[in-house]
Structure 1
Amino acid sequence: MARTREFDTTAAVEAAMAAFRRTGYEGTSIQDLVEATGLGRGSIYGAFGSKEGLYLAALDLYRERFARPLVELLQEGAPARELIREVLVGAVDEIVRDGSRHACLIVGAATERAHLDLDVRDRLRDTARSLEAAFFEVIVRAQESGELPGRRGAADLARFLVTSLQGLRVMGAIEPDRAALTASAEVALAALD
């Protein structure tokens, strides 16, 4: 008879997510995951199949906690510039608050795993596309209402804003300087004009 799982799966994935954010996929060993989660190797393999399975679960949880709220925020219907500023400046605030400089798991996955792992690449592509679509809808509504000029295509602007958002995360990992990151966010906002 198979044993039932006797641990909090979400708590284990949260702990693994923190470990992967600290040291990346390659830098995190199974032993590191055992120590971070408090689970035995057998429990990790039984629940997630492999280190990669646990990494994908951590990436999914990260997307749920950090990317989905951005999409939901952009769907609120407030003025476009205000919403977009809130997303970009909110990212700056989050970066600066993170004194331990934990990497954005999405950026880390893009640089470390996307070229090697189709499951990771597909998740990242879905995340980027959902953010682009949310930005696109905001921009189209604002251009149609005259809130934003229509000189630039909404699809190009949406893609640029996703690139800017991820660029803020990369530069913030290097040096979380609020003034410099906020200035970059303002330049991105100026592209809407």
Structure 2
Amino acid sequence: MSSDFTKFAGPYGGPLLLTLCVLLACVFEPASGEWLAYDRYAIEGFETWRLLTANIVHTNGWHALLNLAGLTLLTFLHSDHYRFMRFIKLFLWCSLLTSAGIYYFSPQLIWYAGLSGALHGVFLWGACMDIRAGLKSGWLLACGVVAKIVYEQINGGSADVEALIGAAVATDAHLYGAVAGLLMFLLMIIPVNKRRPAVQH
């Protein structure tokens, strides 16, 4: 990826590209949902692309709008930390790890679609980046998303949201997405350059 393009894309290029993918998936419903959503049985039949593409399809227009509103909010909160390729890599890994978490740890969840799991990862990553930058608001955001996830694990998803999107809220996806975001942050701050052993003369 050329430096000129990444400079042109700026901090908003990644979120805009993701928004475009979500909107295109909405245009081609219901075919996009049938071919791209997380489906455990289809994945076991080697349709492994669904582990990634499940995160850009949605149950209905309201579902997509809710998640795109969340993406917009995160972009304004954390755009200082976004670079085009950094955001793309972050989203891809949060998406894959969210789906992998569902597959391995939530076998009862047969079907899944939506951006929210990966968004929880992007949110927590951004909060951790704020903390690293010395912003006290990062702690507030991190505690808020953790409290939300704990509440959902105990009480389940919002009934109002479930009625709006026409499906149960996949609270486990939010958990796995947040874990993915934290993992990506930790991997980023761990030094990757190992010291070379001293040369003996």
TM-score for the superposition, normalised by structure 1: 0.31
- Structure index of larger Rg: 1
